[in-house]
């Protein structure tokens, strides 16, 4: 059976989604300031590895836990919703089926408690 990773286009598909995702984030003034001191090339690579892992692809993520990473950012629901919208849009333009897109978003949303208010 194919995984969500496969349905999103495998490694290459996820790389394209992540590229587009960070373009959208960096064009959004409610979000881009959080990334002012972030190395975006590294961030994209980590995000590709993280998505591959949570979408049942290869597990090569070597970054920190969601809780540790976002500690001190004091992220709120609105930040999460805005990020989730950009991810949803980046997935939708790739022609992923609504079912697979919703499944991917549900996995990301399940991390909300680990990310917000830290």
**Near ligand HEM by CB under 6 A: residue from 9, 13, 111, 118:** 111
CA 81/CA 59 separation, integer angstroms: 26
Site for ligand HEM in 37-96 (CB under 6 A): 38, 43, 46-47, 50, 63-64, 69-70, 75, 79-80, 83-84
Minimum Å gap between C-beta 6 and ligand HEM is 19
Helices (H), ranges, 1-118? 4-7, 10-26, 40-54, 66-70, 77-92, 98-109, 112-115
**Near ligand HEM by CB under 6 A: residue from 35, 58, 93, 106:** 35
Query: Contact at 8 Å (CB) between 55 and 8?
Result: yes
Minimum Å gap between C-beta 28 and ligand HEM is 9
108 binds ligand HEM (CB under 6 A): yes
CA 25/CA 8 separation, integer angstroms: 20
Phi, psi (deg, nearest 5) at residue 110: -65, -10
Q: Which residues would be at the binding site for ligand HEM (CB under 6 A)?
A: 31, 34-35, 38, 43, 46-47, 50, 63-64, 69-70, 75, 79-80, 83-84, 108, 111, 115
């Amino acid at each position: 059976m194919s995984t969500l990773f496969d349905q999103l286009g495998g490694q290459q598909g996820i790389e394209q989604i992540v590229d587009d995702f960070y373009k959208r984030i960096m064009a959004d003034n409610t979000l881009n300031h959080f990334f002012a001191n972030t190395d975006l090339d590294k961030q994209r690579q980590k995000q590709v590895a993280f998505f591959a892992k949570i979408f049942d692809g290869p597990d090569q993520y070597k970054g920190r836990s969601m809780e540790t990473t976002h500690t001190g950012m004091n992220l709120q629901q609105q930040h999460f919703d805005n990020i989730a919208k950009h991810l949803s849009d980046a997935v939708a333009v790739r022609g992923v089926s609504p079912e697979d897109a919703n499944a991917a978003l549900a996995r990301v949303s399940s991390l909300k408690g680990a990310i917000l208010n830290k």
